[in-house]
Amino acid sequence: NDTSMQHRNLNHMTREERFSEAMRRTLYALKVLLPREGWTPVGPEMKYLARAIKEFTFIIHAGVFIPCIMSYGTNEQIAKWFPLAADFRIIGTYAQTELGHGSFLRGLETIATYDRANQEFIINCPKITAMKWWPGDMGKSANHVLLMAELVIDGKKYGMHGFMVQIRDLTTHEPLPGVTVGDIGAKLSFESVDNGFLYLQNVRIPRENLLSKLSEVHPDGTYIKKGNQRLMYGSMVRVRVNLIAHEIVMPLAKACTIAVRYSAVRRQGLINPSKEEVPVLDYVAQQHKLLPQVATVFMAHFAAKQLVKMHHDYSLEVEKGNTSQLPELHALSAGMKACLSEQGAAGAEIVRRACGGHGYSCGSGLPFIVNRMLATCTYEGENTVMQLQCARYLIKCADQAKKDKLTGSVWYLSDFSNMSCTAQTFGDLQEPSVLVKLHERRAKCAVQHAGKKMQNMVKNGTPAHDAWNMMATLLINAARAHIMQYVVGTSVTYISELSCSASLKKILTQLCALYALHNINSNCGDFVKFGCLTSAQCDLAQEAEFNLLKQLRPDAVGIVDSFDFTDDILQSCLGAYDGNVYERLFEWAKQAPMNKTEVHQDSYQYLQPYLHEGRDVLEGRGRNSKL
Ligand SMILES: CCCCCCCC/C=C\CCCCCCCCCCCCCCCC(=O)SCCNC(=O)CCNC(=O)[C@H](O)C(C)(C)COP(=O)(O)OP(=O)(O)OC[C@H]1O[C@@H](n2cnc3c(N)ncnc32)[C@H](O)[C@@H]1OP(=O)(O)O
Ligand SMILES: Cc1cc2nc3c(=O)[nH]c(=O)nc-3n(C[C@H](O)[C@H](O)[C@H](O)COP(=O)(O)OP(=O)(O)OC[C@H]3O[C@@H](n4cnc5c(N)ncnc54)[C@H](O)[C@@H]3O)c2cc1C
């Protein structure tokens, strides 16, 4: 209710106004929160702040830069930089991606060369493709970067390492010598974020600025490895784990809230010709668009909670020196981020489109959400690359399953029990245990199918790397199948263990079944091809889904109301709690800068001559123009 936190009409502001407004709002929020006992920019309160702020700044600072200091810094380095960053006395970003490379990290070209004589690193972008490009908050806000660069000592390359580099003067905020930095310009979304470019030319930093938890360079240039070097990729795992809740579940929940509320208000057309116009939510076609996306919000939420717990437990093990969980966590986080961002972004567009013309208006609040969710398919690991990373792990596990009993998220690969489906009615196919088994079987077959195809190619003389490349589509499908069985399985378990009212558990169980059945019906080719379902059972699966749409329709608005977003956060004329869609749209449109004058000044400049001639013709004075 604090008006300083309200989002003025974002759509009618320029990008620079939105950038400034987001910074004002974020720092205002922090001024209120920071003094609170125990609050830090990486604490649990941040998720409420992220929920309360539609457009904020410093998310990379809070969500990536600070956690990296904790993950990669020694105790001394943490003691030095964490307090400064936590109090926003330094503002940082995570500078890894370059103009020429983002996915293939071994191809990064920024170099940190050790200068033994001065005990410094010389940071250099040897060519334009080495320039850092994309990091959030880097263009105008950050005065430090956590720079990921190739470490070179005496001409020998040691791979990507993290370096603390100051890029702007802490008093004037001017770029430091050797630093060329700026904003990369307009993007599809994140209007309020100054994603930037950074060209470093022979910038010198002290030896102590190499974040040295995992490795260090002694004054004489001796390089010491101190842990599993794959932990150098740990920051990306953490963000992939965390962004599912913040950037996939929450925005999709907002989009569903808007679209379901609007669909309950919008009357258009007839079902029974003898009755009145119906709310479009009464059309089964509309329910089929919206309700599976509502179900996705819940299932992704439950699966993300499980992944966050796994990441937390894994982090405790790493502190004890045990990194055995790393491959499983990397595969799962990469796969979950890719598959749920793909589903979420597609789902947001489906529900936007379900709102007709008004869904195309920025006044609906939906284009903002859709465009922002599209970014989740690219950042923190481009989805295809992430799915292939997940598939790489699955193929290895499928080989291992031939001789070992597997555990963890891939246990089903060594389950050789009879998994045939005996469903005879659509009710049988709404059973959670049946749906879990179907997804496990489909995933197991998809992984084995991809692996077998590659093995046969290699047996016939194809080099393994070519077989991998040619079967990439099957491998990606295997990764998707694996994640779907994980999401369905963890959701069924989560709901069964939830202590809540029977009526709530019933709704959640129906939503889970709807999610699973929608996935089956959207991928029935796999389920038939791998012998999971007969053609007749596929018909039952469709019936089962339609039956759930009918059961859930009466509670649709109540379910999205439970997400409990304020009108200010939704910023939507279609999704406001009072349902006064048309009055809100009209008021919103009247506020458009285009309407600040009755006649737009350009009308006089460009249109006037034609208007005069038209008037003359109409009044019989001028000649008929050939225009
Ligand atoms: C303060 C006020 C603010 C108000 C609001 C605050 C809001 C904050 C709220 C809360 C804070 C917490 C939430 C934060 C999260 C939310 C953030 C949301 C907004 C996000 C905004 C955008 C952020 C985007 C940032 C970026 O994009 S950073 C750049 C990301 N880049 C990538 O991901 C690059 C992807 N590429 C790679 O990872 C690698 O190149 C590769 C593809 C993995 C290949 O690497 P490589 O060639 O070295 O490996 P391989 O040969 O393929 O494999 C070698 C073996 O290594 C294993 N491996 C690979 N990766 C990993 C890994 N990550 N972990 C473990 N192991 C790994 C691989 O499996 C191989 O193993 P093997 O056994 O098979 O050999
Ligand atoms: C909104 C936003 C915010 C960002 N914030 C940051 C940040 O704060 N810090 C930072 O360092 N970076 C950031 N990034 C950059 C982001 O991490 C990269 O864009 C991302 O990692 C993808 O890399 P790329 O752009 O080089 O795409 P590429 O890897 O060049 O992908 C291009 C195409 O090639 C395909 N491809 C690539 N490799 C393979 C492969 N091995 N097999 C099959 N296909 C492949 C991809 O699937 C894709 O279709 C941000 C990006 C965005 C959009």
| pLDDT, position 45 | 72
Q: Which ligand has an atom closest to residue 104 CA?
A: 1
| pLDDT, position 419 | 72
Q: Three-class SS string for 277-299?
A: CCEHHHCHHHHHHHHHHHHHHHH
For ligand 1, atom 14, the nearest C-alpha belongs to 63
Q: Which residue has the tokens 């994140």?
A: 190
Does the Cβ of 58 fall within 6 Å of ligand 1?
yes
Q: Which residues are catalytic?
A: 380
What CA–CA distance (Å, rounded) separates 3 from 482?
46
Which residues, judged by CB distance below 6 Å to any ligand atom, belong to the binding site of ligand 2?
60, 93-97, 101-103, 134-136, 190, 195, 375, 378-379, 381-382, 384-385, 388
| pLDDT, position 228 | 83
Residues whose CB falls within 8 Å of the CB of residue 147, separated by 6 or more in sequence, listed in order: 95, 110, 112, 123, 132, 162, 163, 164, 165, 200
pLDDT < 70 regions, the chain:
41, 622-627
| pLDDT, position 599 | 87
Which of 57, 103, 235, 471 for mutating ligand 2's site (highest number of atoms within 8 Å of CB)?
103
Which residues face 94 on adjacent strands?
Answer: 146
Does the Cβ of 324 fall within 6 Å of ligand 1?
no
| pLDDT, position 240 | 96
147 CA to centre of ligand 2 in angstroms: 17
Does the Cβ of 380 fall within 6 Å of ligand 1?
yes
Q: Which ligand has an atom closest to residue 235 CA?
A: 1
386 CA to centre of ligand 1 in angstroms: 9
Q: Which residue has the tokens 């930037």?
A: 196
139 CA to centre of ligand 2 in angstroms: 18
231 CA to centre of ligand 2 in angstroms: 20
For ligand 2, atom 23, the nearest C-alpha belongs to 102
Write the DSSP string, 25-85.
Answer: HHHHHHHHHTTSTT--TTSTHHHHHHHH-SS-S-HHIIIIIHHHHHHHS-HHHHHHHHHHH
Which residues face 144 on adjacent strands?
Answer: 92, 166
119 CA to centre of ligand 2 in angstroms: 34
97 CA to centre of ligand 2 in angstroms: 8
Does the Cβ of 106 fall within 6 Å of ligand 1?
yes
Does the Cβ of 99 fall within 6 Å of ligand 1?
no
Write the DSSP string, 590-610.
Answer: HTSGGGSSSS-HHIIIIIHHH
Task: Please report, in angstroms and rounded to a whole number, the separation of the first and last CA atoms in the chain.
Answer: 56
> What number does the ligand 2 atom closest to the CA of 100 have?
26
